[in-house]
Amino acid sequence: MKLICKNYTFYTNGTVLNRVKYDRRTRMTEGLPEYIEPQIKIFGTLEQVQKAFDEYERATGLNLNEKFTIRVEPKYHEDGELNYHYKSEKENERTKRFLQSLHKEYKENGNKTIII
């Protein structure tokens, strides 16, 4: 039983947040529109993750924009090629702690899917 964590980003349904920025030099405000993209993270087995995603998508009616698996990335692939998803050891440590906390919570909840 392999546990995975997937991040899903959905297309915005037209919801815009208008951030106001004040420029002291010109003494003017500027509205900066920012689209709000809903995001969820799902942790569990592959079957649990797929089932939870299908239920979430059906319940909200949102369309998937992108998804990716959250994992500790090695600096190089097995064939010696550079891994372009690798960021740093610090980022890998943060990701490792995050996944360990999700794994602990998963076990405490009786092996039920976690949706963040």
Q: Whole-prediction pTM value?
A: 0.79
**pLDDT computed for residue 32 by the predictor:** 75
Judgement on whether residues 64 and 35 belong to the same structural domain of the protein:
yes
Predicted local distance difference test score (pLDDT) of residue 43? 97
Residues 104 and 85 in one domain: yes
Q: Based on the structure, what is the number of domains in the chain? A: 2
Q: Which domain holds residue 105?
A: 72-110
State residue 74 phi and psi, 5-degree precision: -75, 160
**In a shared domain, residues 89 and 57:** no
Q: What pLDDT, on the 0 to 100 scale, is given for residue 22?
A: 81
Residues 6+ apart with CB under 8 A from 27: none
Q: Which residues of the chain, if any, have pLDDT below 70?
A: none
Residue whose tokens read 């998804």:
67
User: Is residue 97 helix, strand or coil?
Assistant: helix
